[in-house]
Structure 1
Amino acid sequence: MLGLISAAIAPGLALLSYFYLKDQYETEPFSMVFRTFLFGALLVFPIMFIQYVFEEEQVFTSHFVSAFLSSSMLEEFFKWFILLIIIYPHVHFDEPYDGIVYGAAVSLGFATLENIFYLLTLGIEHALGRALFPVSSHALFGVIMGYYLGKGKFSKTSKGKWLCLSLATPFLLHGTYDYILLTLENWLLFIVPFMIFLWWMGLKKAKQARILSAKYNQSLEDTRTNYG
């Protein structure tokens, strides 16, 4: 049992540590990141309940609608809502890259508890596949969501556009991911290149966020110098 729990938790913690340690300026308080991770984990319960009701009542009969609404929109909206209401206005969200950290944290909290339930049900032999696909994809959806939230918070214009993209982009990517799994018999042939694209996009957004943070911190330093 301990080995199974460890296998379920390890991928999420490893991915979160990676993005957390890439913060080159003021590292986020561990307590705040852990709290965000817990918020994400707690989302599993209401989302699983709503999805169970949808399934039992056969609300969605189309694979397309199920992938994009029952799964993608429901999960990404709740994660986005937590970030927007609790994290976005917080004093510790003080540079663009912080969106990456908190986006990854809330998504990996969700993915980690979901992974524990999945492996408890189907066995540890699924641990590697779960780490490579569902856990990693959730992390990258969170990174992309966090990038746009960070860009929106620290942009002087077009804040509404960036906030809309922070939900719309992970929603479309997540829906596409689930649609591939639900509809294609040889899904592995399509999900591997999709995951490569997702990693490319997620790492690109993380790099862009670090550049934005560097510019933002430099501008703060210049302001202090000019008015100090």
Structure 2
Amino acid sequence: MISTLGAALAPGIAILSYFYLKDKYETEPLHMVVKSFITGILLVFPVMVVQFGFQEELELGVFAQSYFLAGFLEEFFKWFMIYYTVYKHVEFNEPYDGIVYAAAVSLGFATLENFFYLLSHGLSTAFFRALLPVSSHGLFGVLMGYYLGKAKFVADPRKKRIYLGMSLGIPVLLHGTYDFILMAGSDVWPWLIIPFMVILWAVAIRRSSAALDRSIAAAFRRHYEQEEAEKI
């Protein structure tokens, strides 16, 4: 049990640490990040109940299972919790903060899913789970957080609505596509999932760097304004 728990926790903690420590200028309060991670863990249970209810009542094909049961439901629950617990919080004061908190929620969710899977299928699947399901959840969270950060700090109400829509729509689309590839068949999916994950990592790292640059610029601007105010 201890080894299974460690194997389930390790990839999520490692990926979250990478994005958390990337912000060297104004690191988010650790208790807030841990709280977001635990929120993601707790989200697994209501999502499982809702997914089970739809599976019992409806005969869903591969497309609906991928884009609705997995993509929409899981990403919507994450987005909803992030929006109402973090997005409006005073600690969300820089564009990069959205990435940290959304990644924390997503990786908390992925960690408990990973634990349940390893309990059922054994530790032999741990490496595969770390490379694909856990990291993909984290990267969906990075992109969700990137657009939440864009929405938070844009003045134009129309652009704010667009970015909020993108913060949910893009992770749903990517998550659904990921699941659809895995359900495509044993002979096909390895040739599709590898380039998908490479591109996903590349885009997530580029977006996180762009958000970090904006956060650094905002931090210097606040520091300059504070110094000017003190001179008066």
Query: Aligned runs of 1:68-79 on 2, under 5 Å?
Result: 68-79=67-78
The answer (yes or no) to whether the contact 1:60–1:66 under 8 Å persists in 2 is no
Query: Aligned runs of 1:80-119 on 2, under 5 Å?
Result: 80-119=79-118
Q: Tell me, in whole angstroms, the C-alpha distance in 2 between the residues paired with 1:152 and 1:204.
A: 18
Which amino acid is the alignment partner of residue 38 of structure 1?
A: I
Question: Which residue in the other structure is 1:31 paired with?
Answer: 31
| Match for residue 204 of structure 2 among 202, 205, 214 | 202
Question: Which residue in the other structure is 2:220 paired with?
Answer: 218
Q: Tell me, in whole angstroms, the C-alpha distance in 2 between the residues paired with 1:79 and 1:36.
A: 10
Q: Tell me, in whole angstroms, the C-alpha distance in 2 between the residues paired with 1:209 and 1:31.
A: 22
Which amino acid is the alignment partner of residue 199 of structure 2?
A: F
The answer (yes or no) to whether the contact 1:24–1:210 under 8 Å persists in 2 is no
Query: Aligned runs of 1:14-29 on 2, under 5 Å?
Result: 14-29=14-29
Deviation at 1:75, TM superposition (A): 0.4
Deviation at 1:212, TM superposition (A): 0.8
Deviation at 1:25, TM superposition (A): 1.8
| Residues 13-68 of structure 1 deviation map (CA, whole Å, 9 limit, x = unaligned) | 111111110112211111110010011000100111111222223x1422111110
Question: Which residue in the other structure is 2:61 paired with?
Answer: 62
Which amino acid is the alignment partner of residue 149 of structure 1?
A: L
Q: Relative to structure 1, is the Cα distance of residues 62 and 173 closer, same or farther in structure 2, using a 3 angstrom cutoff?
A: same
Q: Tell me, in whole angstroms, the C-alpha distance in 1 between the residues paired with 2:34 and 2:99.
A: 14
Deviation at 1:223, TM superposition (A): 2.2
Q: Tell me, in whole angstroms, the C-alpha distance in 1 between the residues paired with 2:213 and 2:84.
A: 26
Q: Relative to structure 1, is the Cα distance of residues 117 and 216 closer, same or farther in structure 2, using a 3 angstrom cutoff?
A: same
Q: Tell me, in whole angstroms, the C-alpha distance in 1 between the residues paired with 2:163 and 2:185.
A: 32
Normalised to the residue count of structure 2, the TM-score between the two structures is: 0.95
How many pairs are equivalent? 227
Q: Tell me, in whole angstroms, the C-alpha distance in 2 between the residues paired with 1:60 and 1:31.
A: 42
Secondary structure of 1:25 counterpart: coil
Structure 1: runs of 5 or more not aligned: none
Deviation at 1:227, TM superposition (A): 3.1
Question: Which residue in the other structure is 1:167 paired with?
Answer: 168
Question: Which residue in the other structure is 1:137 paired with?
Answer: 136
Which amino acid is the alignment partner of residue 177 of structure 2?
A: T
Question: Which residue in the other structure is 1:181 paired with?
Answer: 182
Question: Which residue in the other structure is 2:155 paired with?
Answer: 156
| Residues 89-134 of structure 1 deviation map (CA, whole Å, 9 limit, x = unaligned) | 1111111111110011000000000100010011111100000000
Q: Tell me, in whole angstroms, the C-alpha distance in 2 between the residues paired with 1:15 and 1:178.
A: 21
Question: Which residue in the other structure is 1:5 paired with?
Answer: 5
Q: Tell me, in whole angstroms, the C-alpha distance in 1 between the residues paired with 2:78 and 2:72.
A: 10
Q: Tell me, in whole angstroms, the C-alpha distance in 2 between the residues paired with 1:129 and 1:60.
A: 29
Q: Tell me, in whole angstroms, the C-alpha distance in 1 between the residues paired with 2:8 and 2:133.
A: 12
Normalised to the residue count of structure 1, the TM-score between the two structures is: 0.96
